[in-house]
Amino acid sequence: MNRRGIGMLKTLKSTCRTFPCRFATKVSKIGSGTGIGRIPSGVRGKDGLSRVNMPSIGTHLPRLKEPLPNVPEVEYAAPMAESAATRVTTLENGLRIASEPRCGQFCTVGLVISSGPRYEAAYPGGVSHFLEKLAFNSTANFPNRDAIRKELEENGGICDCQTSRDTLIYAASIDSRAIDSATRLLADVALRPTISEQEVNLAARAVNFELETLRMRPDQEPILMDMIHAAAYGDNTLGLPKLCPPETLESIDRAVLMKYLKHHHSPSRMVFAGVGVDHDELVEHVRKYFVEEKPIWESEPESSVGPKQVDTSIAHYTGGIVKEQCEIPFYAAAALPELAHVVLGFEGCAHQDPDYVPLCVLNIMMGGGSSFSRGSGGHGKGMNSRLYTKVLNRYDWVHSATAHNHAYTDSGLFCIHGSAPPQHLNDMVEVIVRELLGMAAEPGREDLMRSKIQLQSMLLMNLESRAVVFEDVGRQVLASGHRKRPENFIEEIEKVSAADIQRVATRLLNSPPSLAARGDITGLPEMGQVTSALAGAGRTGLGRRLSPFSSDQHFCKSTKSNESEGLCLTDKNVVFVAGLGGIGMDTSRELVKRDLKNLVILDRIENPEAICELKELNPKVKVSFYPYDVTVPLKETTKLLKTVFAKIKTVDVLINGAGILDDHQIERTVAVNYTGLVNTTTAIMEFWDKRECGPGGIICNIGSVTGFNAIYQVPVYSGTKAGVVNFTSSLAKLAPITGVTAYTVNPGITKTTLVNKFNSWLDVEPEVAKKLLGPPNQTSQQCAANFVKAIELNQNGAIWKLDLGTLEPIKWTKHWDSGI
């Protein structure tokens, strides 16, 4: 201890000896007790007056408001300019090192990697989920997890691994004097994991257990966030699942994981960040373990199967719907009712977008939370946000309503998640729609000021944590190469005006909506109704039902199925372009059994006997026929559909089922199987397209299993069916724009007149029909039953395989993305 410190202690010691005199109490007489626990009732002086702890006056010490003599003035620490700087160094292999100094004995260091589910298009879904579970297991220098734990415990350290949609983070908080040990450990975990088969199996069990747990919990947010991203971006980039799909658990092995790590854990995709460390020392250690020592995959032969490069596709927001009809557990003992969940979202903005900060302010303004926190907290805790004051505090049946803002490097997603008992699901959607529309109104001055101050305070309070600063440094440097100081964001938040909020809200609402729902969702409005309401149709006063959400809609409770509209065919008008023979006739029989209102058959050849049979099968259904050759010009098709619409007023479903199988007739095969289908679809858009104030509709296109695996002896037929699949998939992605959903049903080999006799291309196989009917096949009745089942499931974008009497969805493999 230095002299100055010893002198201060001596002074304080001599001073403290007088403290008992200063605070002594003069007591001359103890009064009688109260009779309760022998507590004295008071203290009396010589004058008989009561005294209670009255200090004596005679002391040489100064008053408390005066400084103590002979005690040096306190010198407070002042922040230095260099303590706030983020230093960034790029090594020769492309790895970036970013650090900030911070006082204290402990530091936080780690890797932030450009990796995550968005890059898994060419891999089985769930690779990142597995890597999270496999983190800090055996490596080249640490034989098992226990060895890693021992290394950390010896230096008072802890570790963690987290994944998001576009980043993977390995981090450790440890004694600053053990920075070499921490860097070595992190390098081994990221670049030299051994990943034994036993570890992969244990990770699979852990992932499966987590999935089962999530489905049993009342909190459905992790599942719903995956669903809303899938609805917003489809089966690519940001729409790929963060949670491992159960069906891919068996597909992920060591080879898959090592191939993924080799391409994604490259130095140029990493930032090594540190808080509370010396930058130059950190650079030295990182160079030693990340440059001089090589990754484990460089010493192993690479598998020839799988992708050879990183998916660099840009996220493309499309909007859409993903739903799952299921049972969500509820806990009566915890006063939790059965809940249905719905999330409604729009395209937000990337975190480098100029509108990012105003959108963050809007997110705080919307706020929200759970009904269980309605009576707690206070100002500054979100209790004055719009979703609290206008939703949670107004409707007692609303369990939760919360706004979320997700921002990524190239896109973003803004959404509101609400939950309520199933009988109030329609009303829940109405309330969310109304609040979303209300975002575009000019915010009040106090509302805006409160939101800005709350965002600023949240930012600064979060940055009090060393771990949060580490993540902020790593993410910012990974995205932009540098870190913006908190003062920069405070200033940007302060500049946000009411006009900025309105502009950003309008930008959100101009994008196609995305919808995700889970639970008992039979009362959920159809997507077309939600889109119409958001476009301004049917806006009503507070507390009244939006007119597009009619309570007498027909819904079917389907099995678990994503994007399912749960369509009931009762009282629906269906136009079926097909001949009344084989699959066409059996499908028509199944349709009339569903109590349609109208079944309109369009075909080149009339079949009066078949029409009579359908009418007799269900007299309640109006069955009519119109002659139609699908090879006629588009103008003629439009003219025919005008006649049909004039007769039955509306059409709910169009089934394009015309087709021929004869590769001798090349032009006619293309005209019937593909061009005619495209023309019929194009013609009906004049009546359905929501951009022309149409009601939307459903298109079911009949393809074939040859559309995804050709019969090479009939390449013309197979090519047209592949065209049908791709054309329909495009229609499905355009659904948020047009209001028209679409999917394909693709029958396998079915015993019909179509396959009894047909010709191969250039007669390359004269007996192709005979050979096809040799292996196991299905009857037209089996095919028709599954055909109608697919229509009732009504899954936008689905590619259904109808083969051997079963109905199975096909997951289309993506090999390329246009980036638009």
Residues identified as active-site: 717
Distances (CA, A) of 285 to 157, 175, 389: 18, 15, 53
Which of 377, 421, 379 minimizes the C-alpha distance to 400?
A: 421
Query: Could you give the 3-state DSSP secondary structure of residue 33?
Result: strand
CA-CA distance, 263 to 558, in Å (whole number)?
Answer: 41
- Cβ atoms of 473 and 100 closer than 8 Å: yes
Query: Could you give the 3-state DSSP secondary structure of residue 404?
Result: strand
Extended beta strands in 682-777, E state: 697-702, 740-747
Distances (CA, A) of 787 to 369, 680, 791: 43, 20, 7
- Cβ atoms of 120 and 480 closer than 8 Å: no
- Helix, strand, coil percentages in the chain from 3-state DSSP, rounded to 5: 45, 15, 40
CA-CA distance, 362 to 387, in Å (whole number)?
Answer: 12
- Which residue matches tokens 């997507």? 527
CA-CA distance, 757 to 741, in Å (whole number)?
Answer: 35
Per-residue exposure over 574-585, b if at least 16 CB sit within 10 Å of its own CB, e if not = bbbbbbbbbbbb
Max Cα distance, the chain (Å) = 131
DSSP β-bridge partners for residue 344: 416, 515
Which of 124, 315, 321 minimizes the C-alpha distance to 230?
A: 321
Distances (CA, A) of 633 to 551, 557, 638, 682, 716: 41, 41, 9, 11, 22
Contacts 24+ apart (CB under 8 A), 22-28: 22/55, 22/56, 22/59, 22/61, 23/55, 24/55, 24/56, 25/51, 25/53, 25/54, 25/55, 25/56, 26/51, 26/54, 26/56, 27/51
- Cβ atoms of 698 and 796 closer than 8 Å: no
Which of 672, 651, 659, 658 minimizes the C-alpha distance to 599?
A: 651
- In the chain the first and final C-alpha atoms are separated, in Å, by 68
Q: At CA 59, angle to CA 57 and CA 61, rounded to 5?
A: 125
- In this structure, are strands 697-702 and 653-656 parallel, antiparallel, or unpaired? parallel
